[in-house]
Each structure stands twice: as structure tokens, then as C-alpha cells.
Amino acid sequence: MPESADDDARLSGTISPQDREAFRRKASDLDGRIDAARGAPREERGGRAGANTRAMSHGFRMVADFVAAIIVGGLIGYFADYWLGTKPWLLMLFLIFGFIAGVRNTMRTYQRMQADIRAATGGDIGQDLPNNEDD
């Protein structure tokens, strides 16, 4: 059996005006923090984690491009061999072409990634460290 009016209010599910105001302040503070996080660029939100995620995404893309080019070259060579009856030769030739195409795609992606980094940092990706060996 409740012993005071506060206990009666808690059991009935009502909230005191002070608790309601404290809840509103916390909710508006949370809304402000969520809006700030949504409006901030990914690097500011995640700090170093955002840059690491983007770098890993570029790495996976380069690997996928490389492997896909080799597979496509191999498939073209295989079916050309099957169609023309020149069994291993076109397969080997197109595997080499696929390898070359994969390397070129990887290099293009790397150059694009470096250009993006240069544009984002203005070409200054770090500060010079003093060379203590010459002292």
C-alpha cells in the first residue's frame, strides 16, 4: 500500500511537472546532437574511422576490379577457344589481356583515389618531421 502522494503518482503512471521538464530538456539536447551528427561530414562524425572505412572500400573495389577483369578475360578466351576450336591458346591470350586490364583498372582507381586525397587536403597530407640524423 503506497505511503505518500508521490508513490501514488508513480504507481498510476503520471509524471511530475519537474520530471516532465527534465525529460523535455534531455530530449531536445538529444535532438540537437543527432542533428549535428547528421549534418557533419563523415570524417567529422567518425573521425579516423570514416577515413579507414573509405580506404578499405577503395581497396576492396581495386581487388574486385582486378579479379573481375581476369575472370572476364578467361571466360572470353574459353568461349572463343570452344567456338573456334583452338583450345588452350585463346584462353591463355585472353587471361593475359584480363590481367593487363585488371592492372590498368587498379592503377586508374589508385590515381583517382590519390587525386581525391590531394583535393581534400590541398596536397598537404602531413607535416615535415625534423631529421635528427643530420644534427
Same domain, 66 and 102: yes
Q: pLDDT tens for residues 91-135?
A: 999 999 999 999 999 999 999 888 887 887 777 666 666 777 765
| Range(s) of the domain holding residue 87 | 49-122
Same domain, 84 and 116: yes
Same domain, 30 and 54: no
Same domain, 77 and 116: yes
What is the spatial distance between Cα 97 and Cα 69, in angstroms, rounded to a whole number?
Answer: 9
Same domain, 36 and 55: no
Same domain, 28 and 73: no
Q: Quickly tell me which residue has 527534465 as its cell.
A: 22
AA identity, residue 35: D
Same domain, 79 and 111: yes
Mean pLDDT over the full length of the chain: 81
Q: Quickly tell me which residue has 640524423 as its cell.
A: 133
Same domain, 35 and 88: no
Same domain, 20 and 58: no
All residues at 6 or more sequence positions from 87 whose CB lies less than 8 Å from its CB, including other chains: 81
| Whether the predicted model's global pTM rises above the 0.75 cut | no
Same domain, 27 and 55: no
What pLDDT was estimated at residue 75?
97
Same domain, 53 and 115: yes
- Classify residue 11: in a domain, yes or no: no
Q: pLDDT tens for residues 12-27?
A: 677 888 988 888 888 8
Q: Quickly tell me which residue has 581525391 as its cell.
A: 116
What pLDDT was estimated at residue 7?
59
Same domain, 57 and 112: yes
